[in-house]
Structure 1
Amino acid sequence: MVYRLMNLGTIIISSLLIGFAFNMFLLPQKILSGGVSGIAMILGLLTPFNTGTFILLLNIPIIILGYLRLGKQFIFYTLISVAVTSISMQVIPERGISDDPILSSVFGGVIVGAAMGFIFRSGASTGGFDVISMVLSQKREMPLGLLISFMNAIVVFISGFVFDWELALYTMLSIFVTGKLVDTVHTRHIKLTLMIITKRGNEIKKNLLANLVRGITVLDGEGAFTSERRNVLITVISRYELTNVKRIIRESDPHAFVNITQTTDVMGYFRKD
């Protein structure tokens, strides 16, 4: 219950930050965000209607897709994120903090990217292309920020034709920074290989299997200097699981030796959740 409340609080605060970045950095300079939000910004700049309203309307069919492919809880959290962003953009005044378009692009992109990363980590999205990217990310192990940046290229071209190509370049800069920050915060695609050398192999194995949905290979080992028998446990986990796994190992055997390396790729079954 506490974990869900923390996720909900993170989603709400992050969504407020996105609305702040849109109205304080990007929209005043006619710099767009990516995906559906970028399209909504174009419509908001060209019509008398608020951008937040278009964000809500354009996300309806995509949220239905996410409901079918990504689950009820994910969509519930995503709806909250979209609603909070939409409402915040109608409450926060559209007033630029800086007149420099480069600074606005970078700082707006940083805030939006970091906020999106925390929303993804909390099991939600900001709607739009994010939902489509997460569906694709489940199929192939690719960095989410890279997928989003690739799909958002269309917004850059629309920006160039509707406004001017200099603004399109600023939009590209903002989208690039956003993608980098998303991948910095959202690290689910990163896999780690753990080699655990311990005298309490059965206890660690039992506790890991009780808390993770991961396979474990157990080997027999021998200390070269002491000739003492050891168990060597090898497993692959996602970056998100590392903190929990380290806690389990410390509680099971405080003297265990653990080697943690980043894994380039995984072949065979590996649960992507």
Structure 2
Amino acid sequence: MDDLREKLTSNEYTTKLTVALLYALFASVALNVFWRPGNIYASGVTGLAQIITTLISSGTGKEAPVSVIYYLLNVPLFVLAWQRISKKFTIFTVITVTFSSLAIQLMPVTPLSTDPIICAIFGGAVNGFAVGFALKNGISSGGLDILSITIRKATGKSVGSIAIIFNGMIALTAGYLFGWPFAFYSVLSIFVSGKVTDAVYTKQKKMQVMIITKKPDQVIHCVQERLRRGITIINGAEGAFDHHKKAVLMTVITRYEMHSLEKAMKEADPKAFVSIADNVTILGNFYDPGM
């Protein structure tokens, strides 16, 4: 049993490290292939690092590396993540930010296009996919992701929508300092990035599940074995066609848990009727493991 637990833990860490490395590569592509060649200010702390770098260059005539500023800005957010989210989450966030800083520094600025609209759309899409992919696998890209997750846990708002608000403020600051046309392109990129993040990071989307079954005990056992979810039982339901007695089970899961639910139902009662309402609003307690 201990060997199995160690193996699972080892596989989890290997997966997270791989995801962190892939995120770093995608993030560096978004920045050095699309955003910087198109004079687009990135989302999150990366965009803030670009603003600070531009101000330093304008004031001193010397170029400060974006990667170093990006890492330094993340340090206080590591403390917030350690206190408000989880220690394991913070450790992998530090690893991800370190990988990202190295990738940004090592990858040369390689313009595929200087058209600001193309750079805004494709840069936002690549970055949004990277952020959503990282969050879906239980790690953060650092920066405003940490603030977004903290606020989401308190308010229930989606990560992408929260990020759009924060990043809109960064784009407006960039526009005020360096010119409004490119600020508008940056807003476009931030919007695309936020929407792609929400599309990929499905863990935050709630789904109401209604199960009509003749085997409620088996279904409850299999579902709760795979998912940490409460289930409400309504006994005494009757089928209109055959008038057999059935039970109605109701629960709420996240879209991320859909595959686990399907496996549980196939094992417990493949003939059960399952109805799912997508993207429901929840009031009251709902277990969210966060990261």
Q: TM-score normalized by structure 2?
A: 0.90
The alignment's C-alpha RMSD in Å is 1.4
* One-letter amino acid of the counterpart of residue 224, structure 2: L
Question: Across the two proteins, how many residue pairs are aligned to each other?
Answer: 273
Matched-pair contact (CA < 8 Å) for 1:199–1:231: yes
Cα deviation for residue 199 of structure 1 reads 1.8
- What is the percentage of aligned positions where both structures have the same residue? 34
Q: Unaligned 5+ residue runs, structure 2?
A: 1-7
Off by >4 Å, runs of 4+ in structure 1? none
Q: Which runs of 5+ in 1 are unaligned?
A: none
- Matching residue of 1:228: 244
Answer yes or no: is the 8 Å Cα contact 1:216–1:235 preserved in 2. Answer: yes
**Corresponding residue SS for 1:224:** coil
Task: Tell whether the 8 Å contact from 2:24 to 2:96 is kept in structure 1 after alignment.
Answer: yes
2:202 alignment partner, SS class: coil
Q: Does 1:119 align with 2:145?
A: no
Alignment of 1:4-153 (within 5 A): 4-45=13-54, 46=57, 47-153=62-168
Q: CA deviation at 1:263?
A: 4.5
- Once residues 154 and 267 of structure 1 are traced to their aligned partners in structure 2, the CA distance between those partners, rounded to angstroms, is 30
Contact 2:206 2:255 in 1 (8 A): yes
The CA deviation at 1:224 is 1.0
Q: Which residue of 1 aligns with 2:207?
A: 192
Q: Secondary structure at the match of 1:152?
A: helix
In the alignment, the residues of structure 2 paired with residue 204 and residue 12 of structure 1 have an alpha-carbon distance, to the nearest angstrom, of: 39
TM-score w.r.t. length of structure 1: 0.95
Cα pair distance change 1:63/1:245, threshold 3 Å: same
- Distance in 2 (CA, whole Å) between partners of 1:263 and 1:154 is 28
TM-superposition CA deviations, 1:140-184 (whole Å, max 9, x none): 111110101101122112211332111111111111111111111
Between 7-16 and 69-78, the greater mean CA deviation after superposition:
7-16
Tell me by how many angstroms 1:136 deviates.
Answer: 0.3
**Partners of 2:250 and 2:104 in 1: how far apart?**
49
